[in-house]
Structure 1
């Protein structure tokens, strides 16, 4: 086994270095490394945590790593799909929407639960994804939510004020009523942070049920008229805008 180098520039394990180069996920990189498919400076390394410089000479299957262009795209996620590459229960995943597209490895940037729909980002650029999902500086997310009640002004204010849920503060940045029928209504809810099932948990705390949950915008990027189940590449200005720190 090769000795671990002492270069002061080394910061990350080998699996993470492969992932940061946009080749594959970190878990997939770890499997490749353990299988003996990855080399550093011409020598096989089987330790996924082997400390490696981002500029190291890394090879795969005896050849230099391929150059992969950054890819950033948006998908209109249909309801019922799981946001993961595979599912142990055999459920359809969001990757079904990319069948036959010939895309390189891409990973979700953030998540939408199985019952939710709308705007979902993907990329093979982990640095860009980290800026977009940063809880302190990432862009706001805007949702249209159909609820099973007619909310009054007091409820809207309470959703913004928030509450403690098992030690976790849940609240919305803003809430407004879009339209109301006789039994249900549509709300626009803006979040400036991303917590697991945050909107559903927040509404449930006030005995409000969610009938539909649709993410319609991330920062200035709107879902627009993109058909359900379809995707498109982001333009350079859109990519730059989403990674720009937002003002809270």
Structure 2
């Protein structure tokens, strides 16, 4: 039989040029932005050699990557951008707002078990003792807009305190305090319900420091007994049961977008 030479193996196609003005990001971050996994999980996948970029294994999580043109595979399966989704969760008290907790505490992702979802991340945080409206999304652009201090998206909290509230206390809350070198102010504060030993206040913030409301009240000699976020911008928690999660409707998502 005549000798037949094998054709040369075809090299991976050169990647297409990135979109005009697109900024490259580390490969692990791009995996996260595409909704495949968290950034930390992406770093592990890359280091383990499980990720191919434009046909080649890349082991550097910070390898500059352009999401619009990159051909990415994980374990041999192509990674494509997941459809954008925004979820509303009524966070119960006692859960931490993270995917994995090094201390083994239960996290908000317990509430998502059994649901067929792309990777979603919380938009901001509620501390372990706080409750109420928490958004989760794979839309990084939306998350960045909501978290940008310049956007001044108001967040409304119902807060139970350990003392009766009079106008003098409300005036001090509205005036704000200095705590640990940070200015803790509010957009508004009003009395919701008064009792003999405690009261419920409505406090609206348009910025968010770590444990903002609790620190402000503590600086005024007032303990926070319960803290429930009930609204973000024009989006209200409503009657969603504790621990329940649901996708936002198109109309609800529109309320989160900036006004033209």
Q: Which TM bucket (shorter chain)?
A: over 0.9
Query: Could you say which residue in structure 1 is the equivalent of 2:43?
Result: 30
Match of 2:156 among 142, 149, 161: 142
2:75 matched to which residue of 1?
61
Residue 182 of structure 2 is matched in structure 1 by: 168
Give the C-alpha shift of residue 154 in structure 1: 2.0
SS of the residue corresponding to residue 90 of structure 2 reads: strand
Q: TM-score, normalised to structure 2's length?
A: 0.88
Q: Deviations over 1:73-97 (max 9, x none)?
A: 1011111111111222222111111
Please say if 1:15 is aligned against 2:20: no
| 156-165 vs 26-35, greater mean Cα deviation | 156-165
| Structure 1 segment 24-103 matched on structure 2, within 5 A | 24-55=37-68, 56-103=70-117
Larger C-alpha radius of gyration, 1 or 2?
Answer: 2
Q: How does 1:89-238 map to 2 (within 5 A)?
A: 89-238=103-252
CA apart distance, 1:67: 4.2
TM-score (ref. length: structure 1):
0.92
Asked if 2 retains the 8 angstrom alpha-carbon contact of 1:20 and 1:127, the reply is no
- Distance in 2, matches of 1:133 and 1:82, equals 19
Contact kept in structure 2, 1:131 and 1:138, CA below 8 Å = no
Shift in Å at residue 66 of structure 1? 3.6
CA RMSD of aligned residues (A): 1.8
Q: Which runs of 4+ in 1 moved over 4 A?
A: 6-10
CA contact (8 A) 2:34 2:80 kept: no
Distance 1:49 1:117 in 2: 36
Structure 1 stretches of 5 or more lacking a match?
1-5
